[in-house]
Amino acid sequence: MAAPRPVEPNEIEDLADLIGSVFGLDDHYSKEHMVSKMRRPTDRRSTLVVVEHGQVVSHIRTVYSRVSVYGCEFNVASVGTVLTRPEYRGKGHAGAILEMSLRDMARKRAKVMIVSGDRGLYRRAHCVPAGRVLSGTVRRDDLQHRGAGVSVRRVGPEDWPLLAPMHQAESVRFVRPVGFVEKLPFWWDCEYPELWLVERAGDPVAYAGLAREWDRKEGSKRRRVWEYAGSRAALVEALPAIFEETGLDEVAFGVLGHDRELSYLLRRQGVALEERRSVGTLRLIDLPGLMRRLRPYLRERLERRDLRSLSFDQEGDRCVFAYGEERLECGVAEATPLVLAGPHAPKVTGDLKRVLARVFPVPLPMAGFNFV
């Protein structure tokens, strides 16, 4: 079996045909657009393929980003567009290409892996549903009054400097350089994102990124909030204006679990919020490394003696949480929901339970614009 390797420039057209045929994306954007994005050197370096008989038969894309959680920064690896040509499935190509990607993630010191999907391939690699999100739907008829003095207007990627200060003030976010939007993969375009800036007396106070929902039919008058930042009160006040400008009937919200302010404001509007997991699946890559990066976060939540007694370790797919003589050992598929929130987390007892309850779950931003 051929070994996975970065895609070559002369293989990009073949790869674009393969992605389009497997995912059925012809209706969303042109092959020419997809090819132009994949020709960028940075994209080729992050794109692994398996080639047999001169034909691309399997593919994975990994993008590395930086996340800030209450000022503590660490690397994450986002994975998407994982596929194998139908006639080559069952030969281990996808598993081999994912295994190479995992080795690269460890080498590049990624702490968490974010996967856009949830299927057997990822579950076998110990990726699980995790990440706390509150999900709800705001309907046009639920909102009676437009906020006084609040206006909205649609902006484009070139206006990111207007939005950056609000995004930068978020306690949990991706760390983004100016111009990041132009460097996003072709998936950005097939979501048809819209950026809506909320202003009061001409001053930017909030923004929301809206994207289509994959399971909705053409012409649907429903979109989802892909990302938001800034004043939560101003954003809720601006929703009637956004409905008016877009012609939408419904907007689906995904509220990060730690965002008490927005969840309170939406519930006050009568919006029912349900506990959900982040889209796709997650996996811890380096538990002790992640907790070292989060040391300032731990320091503000734990007493000094608890911080000294708490330790984390990982060897391969086995993770260890310890507090003094107390010790919990489990697989990474169980450790991930314990750290990041999710079902099937292992049971914790004693002082270890008391201490971990103060620091877990660690919030992560929704993939949003960084979706792969």
Instruction: Please tell me whether residues 104 and 233 are part of one structural domain.
Output: no
CA distance 339 to 138: 30
Residue 87 binned pLDDT confidence (cut-offs 50, 70, 90): very high
For residue 52, which phi and psi values (nearest 5 degrees)? Answer: -130, 135
- pLDDT for res 19: 85
Residue 18 has pLDDT above 70, yes or no: yes
Instruction: Please tell me whether residues 257 and 324 are part of one structural domain.
Output: no
Residue 275 has pLDDT above 60, yes or no: yes
By the 8 A CB rule, do 272 and 188 touch?
Answer: no
Residue 28 has pLDDT above 70, yes or no: no
Sheet of 326-331: strand order equals: 310-315, 318-323, 326-331
- pLDDT for res 330: 98
- pLDDT for res 178: 80
Instruction: Please tell me whether residues 144 and 259 are part of one structural domain.
Output: yes
Residue 305 has pLDDT above 90, yes or no: yes
> Between 358 and 184, where is the model more confident?
358
Query: Domain tally for the chain?
Result: 3
Instruction: Please state the rounded mean pLDDT for residues 2-12.
Output: 90
CA distance 329 to 287: 12
By the 8 A CB rule, do 350 and 61 touch?
Answer: no
Residue 214 binned pLDDT confidence (cut-offs 50, 70, 90): low
- pLDDT for res 145: 63
**Last residue of a domain, which of 277, 299, 332?**
277
Instruction: Please tell me whether residues 268 and 299 are part of one structural domain.
Output: no
- Give residue 303's identity as a one-letter amino acid code: E
Domain annotation covers residue 324:
yes
pLDDT tens digits for range 173-190: 999 988 777 777 666 666
CA distance 307 to 295: 9
Instruction: Please state the rounded mean pLDDT for residues 362-372.
Output: 84
- pLDDT for res 307: 97
Instruction: Please tell me whether residues 244 and 316 are part of one structural domain.
Output: no
Instruction: Please tell me whether residues 208 and 312 are part of one structural domain.
Output: no
CA distance 92 to 80: 18
Instruction: Please tell me whether residues 9 and 84 are part of one structural domain.
Output: yes
Domain annotation covers residue 371:
no
Instruction: Please tell me whether residues 257 and 188 are part of one structural domain.
Output: yes
Instruction: Please tell me whether residues 34 and 152 are part of one structural domain.
Output: no
Residue 36 binned pLDDT confidence (cut-offs 50, 70, 90): confident
DSSP 128: B
Q: Is the peptide bond before 193 cis (omega within 30 degrees of 0)?
A: no
Specify the length of the chain in residues.
372
| pTM for this predicted structure | 0.92
Domain with 200, as residue range(s), is 133-277
Instruction: Please tell me whether residues 50 and 137 are part of one structural domain.
Output: no
Least reliable range by pLDDT among 31-35, 291-295, 324-328, 344-348: 31-35
Q: What angle do CA 54, 60, 66 make, to 5 degrees?
A: 145
Instruction: Please tell me whether residues 170 and 248 are part of one structural domain.
Output: yes
pLDDT tens digits for range 110-134: 999 999 889 999 999 999 999 999 9
**Last residue of a domain, which of 220, 252, 277?**
277
Domain annotation covers residue 321:
yes
- pLDDT for res 188: 64
The CATH number that applies at residue 22 is 3.40.630.30
